[in-house]
Amino acid sequence: MADFAVVIPARYASQRLPGKPLATIAGSPMIRHVWERARESKADEVVIATDDERIAAAAEAFGAVVCMTGGHHRSGTERIAEVADLLDWADERIVVNLQGDEPTMPAQLIDECAGLLEDASADIATLASPFASQADFQSPNCVKVVRDAQHHAIYFSRATIPYPRDAVSGERASRAALHHHGIYAYRCGVLRRLVAAEPSELEICEQLEQLRALALGMTIAVGVPSQRPGAGVDIPEDIARVEAELTQ
């Protein structure tokens, strides 16, 4: 496997859970758990990217490398692109975007996502699992992805895709789609091109940033992970569940 870096974008502001990266989970700030998962992977470099001094101070206290970025970024992807420029990473270097609210992401899946870029035809890589339930398939909070025969993404949506035309095809539709997980690997040159582009109409409509890449004609490799990652932390009620996963 080629060398790769992991960047963990972390911002303090969150509508549903203010100060989320510093939320205490099993005695440590959440961002530390995410960093530990990244350190357990085969990454040769792990960086926490933030514009907040409180997050930076906490991260440096447990030994993390921190890259201070601007506060103007609209997404973690933009923040990671700034890190790539600040650290002068070459266009061919692979970087994994590990979101700062994924403290239960198995390290093996970080490696698997980065490894998908061994497919030279892929610009971006990500992971997606079979749906755990029909309810998840129906939920707009669960992003769906459909793939072609080469396991490249055709489309992502919050809607039920493919659309089941009748009751008989409903179960088939949920098997044809996969439940997308929010982890990505990019080559830095692709990352720079992606953030330089304006949001596409598809992205604006669905509020899914990966649709910008598809609109630009980029190829996204979608792998099925060897295990299903735990859910991330979105609201205060998620903390107890994550603590149970981390301590079991």
Q: How far apart are the first and last CA of the chain?
A: 31
What does the alpha-carbon distance between residue 147 and residue 71 come to, in Å, rounded to a whole number? 35
In the chain the domains, ranked by start, together with CATH numbers, are: 4-247 (3.90.550.10)
**How high is the pLDDT of residue 187?**
97
- Whose tokens are 């998908």? That residue is 116
Alpha-helical segments (H) within the chain? 30-39, 53-61, 76-86, 107-115, 134-138, 167-176, 188-196, 201-206, 210-215, 238-247
Question: Does pLDDT of 1 surpass 80?
Answer: no
Length of the chain: 248
Q: What is the mean pLDDT of residues 154-166?
A: 92
Query: How sure is the predictor about 143, in pLDDT bands with cuts at 50, 70 and 90?
Result: very high
Burial of 11 (0-12, 13-18, 19+ CB in 10 A): buried
**Can you give the pLDDT at residue 247?**
78
- pTM as predicted: 0.94
pLDDT at 14 over 80: no
**Per-residue pLDDT, 71:** 83
Of the candidates 101, 27, 10, 4, the residue with the CA atom closest to the CA atom of residue 64:
10
